[in-house]
């Protein structure tokens, strides 16, 4: 039983932390530091962790690279992605060969 | 005789009509009922009321559709049209007729469709397709959003506009679909299934279309489409523009939006909000650390203010005094002890070791060490009243035989030295023994 738990926690550790829990952790660190109950060493440690979490969150926010793509039927019925431009004002897809459907 | 005395009850027309009215209108079977029939003798009165007859092959019933009720219907009544009306049976005393007082009406064709939708809804509900516990949470930070809709409609534009406004670097993948007509259902299902493929790396899906007539929205009531929403591995938002009746896809989706724009708002977060939140948390963290450091600095300043730090030499010189005092005492002790070092009378342990130990001791132990030294020192023996006798050559006298009358001896006391001449020698006698 204990072994099982251990294996599980090990797996969780190796799992990449996601944006939401990073943000929650940062929030928890801010609150904990504000309480001022931690030792200096622990405060500095938490502070460093907080900085890392903030950096991680910002990186995640900037990770996506704006692009609009549309699926199209290619040759031999293969589905392919095609990058399209968007009219910034209307949101309209600027493409003179828009297929109505994947089918 | 009895029959004669019992006069038959005679009603006035009004009385019997009132009774009929009471009976008919009071009967639950005639209240809040649906009637299907074909419209005939349709009259639009200038007052806004509508009068017509509902009929089928074998019977007719008069119908009145008052203005306050008929202003809400969305279709136009026509002669010969087959409709369903909902209302109560009422009696119009003045004409001696009964009629259906219509509260609402629906064209029978659509009524059929609606009944089918209701049946499908019931069936899927029983199957658990709409069960809230199947609903997945939308990702808090989607990187790539999939859209299933017409690539040329207003819906896709609205979604893209809103999504880019909220999260300028969002990635969007559109699965173009037919969203009305006979091909729509298959097309929508295909789009949802395609975007669910892991290879596209999509985080959530928006599927829908802009608002339209009841028939336009029908594809999103199709069983296959509803099931595709339910089966979607990825969280999916139903984005069908509607005002009153929502399509079944709304019930099966993880989240239902009343318009495509609203769906984009549900699915795509505002990037700036996150940035602001992170900034805010960083400011809080920084402030907390800054105030911690400020507190510590103040405490350190207060400590530095204490005398030991202000004038450390003072402490050292105080210690020095203690040390030199100790040194003096040890020297004194040595002065006393060394000349008699070879003397068996005094049981003195190796005093150099003792001194080393003392010196090695930490400062706070000086007192204790001194005490111990005192206990062992010949000084303390002398203090108790003993003295040491020595001859002229400073050899300790261990026997009266070691001297002679007229010779000089030294008596070492704890606080000094007596030089004495020997007056007499009484061997074997102690001074305390008086015979």
A-chain residues near B281 (CB < 8 A):
23, 26-27, 29-30, 50, 54
Question: For testing the chain B interface, which of A85, A87, A100 should be mutated: the one with the most B CBs within 10 Å?
Answer: A100
What's the total number of domains in chain B? 4
The angle subtended at Cα B95 by Cα B92 and Cα B96, nearest 5°, is 70
Do B145 and B86 fall within a single domain?
no
DSSP B404: -
Distance from CA of A75 to the nearest CA of B (A): 17
Q: Which of B246, B269, B292 is a domain's end point?
A: B269
| B357 & B237 share domain | no
- pLDDT-derived band at B196 (thresholds 50, 70, 90) equals very high
The answer to whether residues B361 and B401 belong to one domain is no
For A63, nearest residue in chain B (alpha carbons): B143
Together in a domain, B378 and B401: no
Q: Are B104 and B180 contained in the same domain? A: no
pLDDT digits (tens, 9 = 90+) for A41-83: 888 899 999 999 999 999 999 999 989 999 988 777 788 888 9
* Residue B175 forms part of a structural domain: yes
What does the domain layout of chain A look like in residue ranges? Answer: 2-63, 65-96
pLDDT beyond 80 at A2: no
Out of B126-130, B328-332, B412-416, pick the least confident.
B328-332
Decide if B274 is inside a domain.
Answer: no
Closest CA to A32 of B284, B276, B295, B275: B284
Closest CA of chain B from A36, distance in Å: 7
Would residue B303 count as lying in a domain? no
Residue where a domain terminates, one of B82, B113, B144: B113
ipTM of the complex: 0.81
Task: Name the residue in chain A with its Cα closest to that of B147.
Answer: A70
- Note the pLDDT tens digit of each residue in B32-52: 999 999 898 899 999 999 999
- Residue in A with minimal Cα distance to B295: A36
Residue B82 predicted with pLDDT over 60: yes
* Residues B18 and B92 both lie in one domain: yes
Asked if B87 and B103 sit in the same domain, the reply is yes
State mean pLDDT over B16-37: 92
For position B206, which CATH number holds?
3.40.50.261
Q: What is the mean pLDDT of residues B241-266?
A: 92
Tell me which residue range forms the domain holding B334: 312-383
Same domain, B160 and B181: yes
Residue A27 is predicted with a pLDDT of 94
CATH of the domain at B23: 2.40.50.140
Q: Which of B235, B269, B303 is the last residue of a domain?
A: B269
CB distance B159 to B209 below 8 Å = no
CB contact set of B255 (below 8 Å; sequence gap of 6+): B135, B138, B235, B236, B237, B238, B263, B266, B267
Distance CA B360, CA B321 (A): 17
Residue B94 sits in the same domain as residue B190: no
The pLDDT assigned to A16 comes to: 64
**Within this chain, do residues B161 and B245 fall inside the same structural domain, yes or no?**
yes
Q: Is B307 a domain residue? A: no
**Residue B162 to chain A, least CA–CA distance (Å):** 9
Do B183 and B100 share a domain, yes or no? no
User: Which pLDDT belongs to residue B308?
Assistant: 64
How do residues B361-406 score in pLDDT, each as one tens digit?
A: 544 454 554 455 555 555 666 676 777 888 888 888 888 888 888 8
> Among B61-70, B120-129, B308-317, where is mean pLDDT lowest?
B308-317
Q: Are residues B20 and B61 in the same domain?
A: yes
Bridge partners (DSSP) of residue B193 are: none
Is the residue at B299 inside a domain? no
The predicted pLDDT at position A89 comes to 79
Give B364 or B171, the one with higher predicted confidence.
B171
């Amino acid at each position: 039983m204990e072994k099982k738990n251990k294996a599980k926690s090990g797996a969780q550790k190796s799992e990449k932390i996601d944006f939401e829990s990073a943000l929650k952790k940062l929030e928890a660190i801010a609150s904990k530091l504000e309480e001022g109950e931690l030792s200096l060493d622990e405060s500095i440690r938490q502070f460093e962790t907080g900085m890392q979490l903030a950096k991680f969150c910002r990186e995640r926010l900037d990770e996506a690279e704006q692009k609009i793509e549309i699926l199209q039927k290619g040759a031999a019925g293969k589905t392919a992605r095609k990058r399209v431009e968007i009219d910034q004002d209307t949101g309209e897809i600027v493409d003179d060969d828009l297929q109505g459907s994947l089918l | 005789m009895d029959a004669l005395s019992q006069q038959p009850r005679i009603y006035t027309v009004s009385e019997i009509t009132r009774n009929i009215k009471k009976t008919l209108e009071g009967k639950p079977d005639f209240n809040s009922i649906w009637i299907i029939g074909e419209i005939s003798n349709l009259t639009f009165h200038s007052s806004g009321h509508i009068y017509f007859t509902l009929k089928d092959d074998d019977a007719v019933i008069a119908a009145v559709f008052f203005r306050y009720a008929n202003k809400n219907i969305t279709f136009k009544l026509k002669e010969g049209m087959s409709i369903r009306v909902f209302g109560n049976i009422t009696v119009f005393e003045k004409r001696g007729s009964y009629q259906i007082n219509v509260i609402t009406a629906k064209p029978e064709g659509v009524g059929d469709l609606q009944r089918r939708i209701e049946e499908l809804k019931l069936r899927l509900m029983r199957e658990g397709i709409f069960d809230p516990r199947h609903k997945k949470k939308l990702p808090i930070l989607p990187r790539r959003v999939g859209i299933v809709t017409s690539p040329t409609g207003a819906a896709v534009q609205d979604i893209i506009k809103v999504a880019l406004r909220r999260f300028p670097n969002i990635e969007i993948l559109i699965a173009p679909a037919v969203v009305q007509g006979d091909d729509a259902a298959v097309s929508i299902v295909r789009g949802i299934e395609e975007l669910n493929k892991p290879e596209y790396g999509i985080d959530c899906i928006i599927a829908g279309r802009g608002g339209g007539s009841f028939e336009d929205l029908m594809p999103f009531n199709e069983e296959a489409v509803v099931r595709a929403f339910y089966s979607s591995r990825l969280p999916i938002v139903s984005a069908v523009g509607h005002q009153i009746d929502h399509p079944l896809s709304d019930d099966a989706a993880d989240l239902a939006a009343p318009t495509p724009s609203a769906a984009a708002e549900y699915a795509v977060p505002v990037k700036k909000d996150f940035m602001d939140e992170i900034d805010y948390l960083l400011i809080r963290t920084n402030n907390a650390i800054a105030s911690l450091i400020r507190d510590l600095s103040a405490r350190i300043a207060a400590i530095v203010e204490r005398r030991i730090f202000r004038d450390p030499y003072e402490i050292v010189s105080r210690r020095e005094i203690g040390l030199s005092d100790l040194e003096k005492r040890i020297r004194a002790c040595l002065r006393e002890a060394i000349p008699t070092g070879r003397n068996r009378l005094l049981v003195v342990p190796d005093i150099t070791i003792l001194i080393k130990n003392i010196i090695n001791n930490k400062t706070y132990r000086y007192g204790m060490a001194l005490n111990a030294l005192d206990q062992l020192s010949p000084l303390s023996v002398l203090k108790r009243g003993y003295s040491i006798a020595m001859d002229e050559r400073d050899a300790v006298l261990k026997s009266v035989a070691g001297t002679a009358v007229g010779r000089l001896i030294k008596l070492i006391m704890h606080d000094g030295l007596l030089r004495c001449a020997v007056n007499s020698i009484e061997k074997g006698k102690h001074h305390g023994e008086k015979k």
